[in-house]
A and B are shown apart, each in its own frame.
Chain A
């Protein structure tokens, strides 16, 4: 097998949607923008496109570097590239920053044309269905009628699931990784603690911090620290940090900082510099509210009736934020609805974070599924038959 490589230097593009777009909440954008990147080449038949849906704190920069001296590649560089599981020699990969984001797409930091001020906390409520609709606008713009695959981890998996329900004939396959059809009470609780950390920061000012030239750094930092603990597992943290002390003397108790503390401080601080608090609140709410069965009398099987896509559902043993059981619920509902689905449970001690890591078996599973998909597309196989 050829060596995995990088997609190299990539440059984001901005798509401007110039028609009014009404959200589920009733608010309308006269126009909006999505920033996105693409990797690989769209074939002539435009049949090899893969959409990457990002998770809670994600964005469009999934693979490659923005400049030669970039210290870090895109957030899913482990998985996307030539000869990587999502192989850019085979697929044309599209990755965007969702509406409401803070990395270039229209979001709380953008200027509201009706007031000529940043939206801030008045940015309308965006839900997963809106993201899917706006991603469909982007697909139209790129001339992609049907995606070969729509892939997402965590909140991204919810978008892939919603795609299969809202646009059944616009995707061949959906890959849901460490995801859930809806959050549990415990999961919502963690999101609420994170939101409270932000909104109770004195610098939050009811979301108008930008107008005052300040930022709720401490709140964001705390929110991220809580998040990070829940994205890892007890065993994972033990083997990553143990009780190792980074500085100070534990004997005298003077200025002690454990490695784990230092890690959380660093992650929290860098997040507070990069991420907008209003976006964080908006995205956690979208995560909390998501439930595709709500319109089907809470019957997920009924919600999936019209689905045509074939599914791959992957979960990780130590993930307690999006546990194996949540993935199994999706798989069971798909089987009951007579849809094509495969599922793998990957042994990992890295908790929810596993989905971002280059774990050998996880990569093999993705690679096998996508290689088979690519050869089916090549042979023009009828992938759309119902079960």
Chain B
């Protein structure tokens, strides 16, 4: 399993209620259903992903995150997860608030636009392309990129509590450089959030 999903799986209690926004091929939920008998649901809109989820027996719901999450009751889930999707939704701020309205806690992961490779390319006059941001400016699904510092500022503004932060490289491993200067050397961040 992807290393970041492994970390998330470790945070989830057996039998918990889990909502995975942009669940992709349902890797996390299939694992959690099998090992922890969670009551999990994944939201996605990609036809191929949905079919693969059905193959795996994952509770996949075809729903566009940009249409909001009003159909989910408040305080109805233990954990709401969104991996590498925040940067491609229309209203990340509203979605974050919704995630913590629905869930007790949430986990968000996203790529860092403040990584030194991005900064260098911008200084040289180009939109950044890197391992963790592989798209050209004209065909990227990423419409709301941010740096770790930007994200933390938003959390403060929205009054969201950061319970845990983990900064990793594109192989989802940690190293001393990114522990010291996360916003410069980290490629992906993993934030575990709660209601303040």
Contacts and interface: CB of A to CB of B under 8 A. Distances in A.
Interface of A: 312, 328, 331-332, 335-336, 338, 340-345, 361, 364-365, 368-369, 371-372, 376, 385-387
A377 B57 CA distance: 12
A361 B47 CA distance: 8
B76 A336 contact: yes
A273 B62 CA distance: 41
Interface stretch (B1-9, B48-56, B117-125, B127-135): B48-56
Contact of A376 (B41, B57, B58): B57
B72 interface: yes
13 contacts: A312-B54, A328-B71, A335-B61, A336-B76, A338-B17, A338-B39, A361-B47, A365-B54, A368-B55, A372-B54, A372-B55, A386-B39, A387-B17
Contacts of B88: none
A345 B54 contact: no
B22 to A, nearest CB: 16
Given A336-B73, A372-B56, A376-B57, A344 B62 contact: yes
Given A335-B41, A361-B47, A387-B39, A342 B53 contact: yes
Contacts of A342: 53-54, 58-61
In the A-B complex, the 3 residue pairs with the closest CB atoms: A387-B39, A368-B54, A332-B71
Interface in B68-85: 71-73, 76
Contacts of B55: 368, 371-372
Contact of A343 (B56, B61, B73): B61
Interface residues of B, number: 21
Interface string B164-187: 000000000000000000000000
B87 interface: no
Secondary structure class of chain A's binding surface, majority of residues = helix
A331 B61 contact: yes
Nearest to A370: B54
B37 interface: yes
A344 B50 CA distance: 8
A328 B59 CA distance: 14
Given A338-B39, A372-B55, A365 B61 contact: no
Contacts of B71: 328, 332
B70 to A, nearest CB: 10
Contacts of B62: 343-345
A364 B58 contact: no
Contacts of A385: 37
Contacts of B56: 372
A335 B72 contact: yes
Given A335-B61, A336-B76, A341-B59, 6 more contacts: A328-B71, A338-B39, A341-B61, A344-B62, A368-B51, A385-B37
Contacts of A361: 47
Contacts of A340: 39, 59
Contact of A364 (B37, B51, B60, B76): B51
A81 to B, nearest CB: 20
Contacts of A335: 41, 61, 72
A328 B37 CA distance: 25
Contacts of B60: 342-343
A359 B76 CA distance: 35
A328 B58 CA distance: 18
Nearest to A382: B37
A303 to B, nearest CB: 16
Interface string B27-68: 000000000010101000001001101111111111000000
A328 B41 CA distance: 14
Nearest to B70: A332
Contacts of B59: 340-342
